[in-house]
Structure 1
Amino acid sequence: MDIPIEKKRFTKSKLIMIGLGALILFLIVYVFIFSSGNSKLNVERERLSINTAQTGVFQENIPVNGIVLPITTIYLDAIEGGRVDEKYVEDGAIMKKGDPILRLSNTDLELSLVNQETSVYNLLTQMQISQNAARQNTINKLNQFTDVENSLIEAERIYNLNKRLFEKDAIGRQELIKSQNDYNYQKERMQLAKQILQQDSVATKQEQNQIQSSYQRTQNALELMRRKVADLVVKAPVDGQLTSLDAEIGQSKNKGERLGQIDVLSGFKVRVDIDEHYISRIYAGQRGSFVFNNKQYFLIIKKVYTQVSNGRFQVDMEFESEVPEGIRRGQTLQIRVALSEEKQALLIPKGGFFQQTGGNWIFKVSEDGSYAYKIDISLGSQNTEFYEVLSGLEQGDKVITSGYDNYGDVQELILKD
């Protein structure tokens, strides 16, 4: 009787295969664990910018460029068109108010002035004739009134006399009645004469007012025409410096065409261009500062031009107190405009790291200074020198603020001297 032989479960070859598999699996796990750790990179310390987070006074500001301009500029336009006949001064001259700059000629305008003057003189003559006629008419009516008044007095005298004579039977009733009727007739004439004289006075006054009003309008038109002719001589409207004069003898200028400008020299302002991103945060009264000849000066925003052109808008700033000595028109100033009030904050200097991290993380240097590692941070506002740190760092922490262009996904930097 055959006895079945029990087959071994694990042969030597199987055990060898299992051992090799376990070894391979261990190697895979080992490589995975150690490769998933922080990748490192050796860097030279001298090539890095290492700064310390410090608490200090922080104010958000933006850098802008401004151009120095006169405090006020008065533009000279041709009020009336014409041909340039004479130039009294050249560009850059210092002018006093009322000084002539140039003279234009306009034959049509000068002829219109002559015609207007003739119209005024004709109207004045007609008015004088009308006044004389009205005066003579009034005199005639006054004479007539005097005659009526005299007739009334005589009729009243005769009537009163006849009444007394009739009472003494010296005259008959018929003669009394006749004198009474004559007296009543003269009274009615007197009333009518008064009405005529009153109406004549009103009519004469109305006519005189109309003539006077017409004359005044014509006189005003003449004065306006004279001013228009006088405007052919362009004069300085204020004290200042004549600039941008664009006129040559013989050149024709159209009405409203720009001739030049007068810059008032009593002070300066600064015209500043600002990115439209800040338009909601810029308002009159904000301050700015700049350095000139190693001294700091302050400006204040006086006017904001809200019109946006090519992604930028403009503001006018004036010097808060002292104006720098030696500053000139057209000079460019580098200004820092404050967007917030001063406050205490944890600060780190600005640097190239922000371009790669967006302010979300930074390399923090270890306490012994031998390496630096990534940490998450949160940055707030910024100015031309510092970032405001909201979280992730503490006072005295050292960080690398230079650029991270060559670090890729490195998690740790080994700092070599």
Structure 2
Amino acid sequence: MDRVIERKKWNSKRLLTIGGVTALVGLVAGSVMLTSGKSKLNVDTERITVSNVTKGSFQEIIPLNGIVMPVTTIYLDAVEGGRVEKLFVEDGATMKKGQPILKLANTDLELSLANEETAVFNVLTQMQISRDNARQNTISKLNQMAEVESGLKEAERVYKLNKKLYDQKAIGLQEYQKSENDYNYAVRRKRLTTQILNQDSTAMNQQTQQSKESYAHMKSTLELMRKKVGDLIVRAPVDGQLTSLDAEIGQSKQKGGRLGQIDVLSGFKVRVDVDEHYITRVYNGQTGDFTLGNKTYNLKIKKVYTQVANGRFQVDMQFTGAMPKDIRRGQSLQIRLALSDETQAVMVPKGGFYTQTGGNWIFKLSEDGKTAYKVDVQLGRQNPDYYEVMQGLKAGDRVVTSSYENYGDMQELVLK
């Protein structure tokens, strides 16, 4: 008799299949859980900087580098070209106005001066000769006039006498007419002589005036030439310190070439380099300060140079109030330039975190201080110490402000 064999519900093959599927589902679920959870990193609190977010007075300030310069600088250029023949002083010397600095030699210019002096001397000599000739001519004309006037008087006397005698029938008509003709000739001769004398006098005056003008012009040219030769000796235009002297004995200098400069020592200014990013926010009258010898000194922008070179532009700042006694030309200063007035703001201290985050997020500590997690923030203005917090943080929050360079894409820091 046959026996019914009962079929087994859980054989080994089915058990293996179910186990494999279960393991696979578990693996997938574990992977999903691991990838969907926050990535964490254990961090030693001694190796990070934790700062408090505060609220208080905030002023936007940018740090800048400034160079101390004389308040006035006068450049020395070669008015005339030439070869450096003599140096009277050395670079750095304190000068008085008019004191000689160096002498240039220019043979062509000196020869031109000698020729001009000779020409002026010749003109002067010719003027003297012309004046003597004119004087002699005038004397001759005056003598001639004297003779004419004497002849006229004599002719007039004879004419009047003969007229009486003729009226009295004492002389004949022919003798009377001769005396009348002689008288009329003497009158005409005097009139002509007077006209000639006046014309000569006018011509002489014109010639004298032209000679004077020509001489004056040549003399002016001579003075100009002498001045040009005199400019071969370069002198200090004002009292001050000679700096940047660029001249050596025997060196040739072109006309208009830079020889050096005179720094007026009556005061100093500070020339500051500013990033072109701030060109629309920097203007005359803005204030700044710097610290030197544990004292703070105030400055004010006097002039803005709007020309941009290599991404930067320059401003000149003058002292307002006291000036450091031991300040020197060329000295570097760390200037703090204020771009805004003081306002109340939420602030976070500056730190290395900004390099990795760009100010878009920050690690904020939990209330118990055991972890720090990412939060989105918006930072605004800045000064050397703080960033202005626009949103994402409030006063009293604690944040990690040190560098995030080793944190990668971590979402949470576990503080140990």
Q: TM-score range by the shorter chain?
A: 0.7 to 0.9
| 1:305-341 deviations in Å (ceiling 9; x for gaps) | 3333333333332222221121122221122222333
Q: What secondary structure does 1:351 align onto?
A: coil
| Aligned residues of 1:95 and 1:236 also touching (Cα < 8 A) | yes
Letter in 1 for 2:308: V
Shift of 1:293: 0.8
Shift of 1:219: 0.9
> Does 1:216 pair with 2:216?
yes
Shift of 1:292: 0.6
Change (3 A) 1:161 1:34: farther
Q: Distance in 2 between matches of 1:137 and 1:312?
A: 80
Residue equivalent to 1:124: 124
**TM-score between the two structures when normalised by the length of structure 2:** 0.78
Residue equivalent to 2:253: 254
Letter in 2 for 1:396: G
Shift of 1:223: 0.9
Moved more, 203-212 or 116-125: 203-212
Q: Distance in 1 between matches of 2:180 and 2:376?
A: 129
Written as runs of structure 1 = structure 2, the 5 A alignment for 1:340-379 is 340-379=340-379
Change (3 A) 1:127 1:380: same
| 1:162-197 deviations in Å (ceiling 9; x for gaps) | 9999xxxxxxxxxx9999999999999999888777
| Aligned residues of 2:362 and 2:376 also touching (Cα < 8 A) | yes
Letter in 1 for 2:114: V
Shift of 1:140: 6.7
Q: What secondary structure does 1:326 align onto?
A: coil
Change (3 A) 1:113 1:31: closer
| Aligned residues of 1:77 and 1:259 also touching (Cα < 8 A) | yes
Letter in 2 for 1:125: T
| Aligned residues of 1:81 and 1:252 also touching (Cα < 8 A) | no
| Aligned residues of 1:96 and 1:238 also touching (Cα < 8 A) | yes
Structure 2 stretches lacking a partner, 5+ long: 1-8, 166-175
| 1:129-187 deviations in Å (ceiling 9; x for gaps) | 3344455666777788889999999999999999999xxxxxxxxxx999999999999
Residue equivalent to 1:245: 245
Q: Distance in 1 between matches of 2:54 and 2:191?
A: 109
Moved more, 21-30 or 359-368: 21-30
Q: Distance in 2 between matches of 1:385 and 1:315?
A: 24
| Aligned residues of 2:240 and 2:265 also touching (Cα < 8 A) | yes
Residue equivalent to 1:280: 280
Q: Distance in 2 between matches of 1:54 and 1:90?
A: 58
Shift of 1:48: 1.9
Q: What secondary structure does 2:324 align onto?
A: coil
Q: Distance in 2 between matches of 1:385 and 1:160?
A: 125
| 1:261-306 deviations in Å (ceiling 9; x for gaps) | 3222222222323333333333333322211111111222333333
Moved more, 194-203 or 220-229: 194-203
Residue equivalent to 1:115: 115
Written as runs of structure 1 = structure 2, the 5 A alignment for 1:54-65 is 54-65=54-65
Structure 1 stretches lacking a partner, 5+ long: 1-10, 166-175
Letter in 2 for 1:285: G
Change (3 A) 1:84 1:18: closer
Written as runs of structure 1 = structure 2, the 5 A alignment for 1:9-408 is 28=28, 32=32, 35-134=35-134, 203-249=203-249, 251-256=250-255, 257-408=257-408
Q: Distance in 2 between matches of 1:297 and 1:114?
A: 59
Q: What secondary structure does 2:277 align onto?
A: helix
Q: Distance in 2 between matches of 1:164 and 1:381?
A: 127
| Aligned residues of 1:41 and 1:410 also touching (Cα < 8 A) | yes
Letter in 2 for 1:403: S
Moved more, 368-377 or 181-190: 181-190
Q: Distance in 1 between matches of 2:266 and 2:152?
A: 82
Q: What secondary structure does 1:280 align onto?
A: coil
Q: Distance in 2 between matches of 1:207 and 1:392?
A: 98
Moved more, 371-380 or 179-188: 179-188
Q: Distance in 2 between matches of 1:287 and 1:314?
A: 15
| Aligned residues of 1:243 and 1:262 also touching (Cα < 8 A) | yes
Q: Distance in 2 between matches of 1:367 and 1:270?
A: 49
Change (3 A) 1:20 1:85: closer
Q: Distance in 2 between matches of 1:155 and 1:391?
A: 128
Q: Distance in 2 between matches of 1:186 and 1:246?
A: 83
| Aligned residues of 2:84 and 2:253 also touching (Cα < 8 A) | no
Moved more, 251-260 or 184-193: 184-193
| Aligned residues of 2:159 and 2:179 also touching (Cα < 8 A) | yes
| 1:46-105 deviations in Å (ceiling 9; x for gaps) | 222222222223232322222222222333333333444433333332221122223333
Q: What secondary structure does 1:281 align onto?
A: coil
Letter in 1 for 2:388: E
Residue equivalent to 1:414: 414
Q: Distance in 2 between matches of 1:403 and 1:86?
A: 62
Q: Distance in 2 between matches of 1:186 and 1:144?
A: 13
Change (3 A) 1:346 1:209: farther
Letter in 2 for 1:90: E
| Aligned residues of 2:64 and 2:335 also touching (Cα < 8 A) | yes
Q: Distance in 1 between matches of 2:286 and 2:134?
A: 72
In angstroms, what is the RMSD of aligned CA positions?
4.3
Q: What secondary structure does 2:279 align onto?
A: helix
Shift of 1:120: 1.0
**TM-score between the two structures when normalised by the length of structure 1:** 0.78
| Aligned residues of 1:78 and 1:253 also touching (Cα < 8 A) | no
Q: Distance in 2 between matches of 1:164 and 1:49?
A: 145
| 1:112-135 deviations in Å (ceiling 9; x for gaps) | 222211111111222333344455
Moved more, 144-153 or 198-207: 144-153
Change (3 A) 1:50 1:123: same
Q: Distance in 1 between matches of 2:187 and 2:55?
A: 112
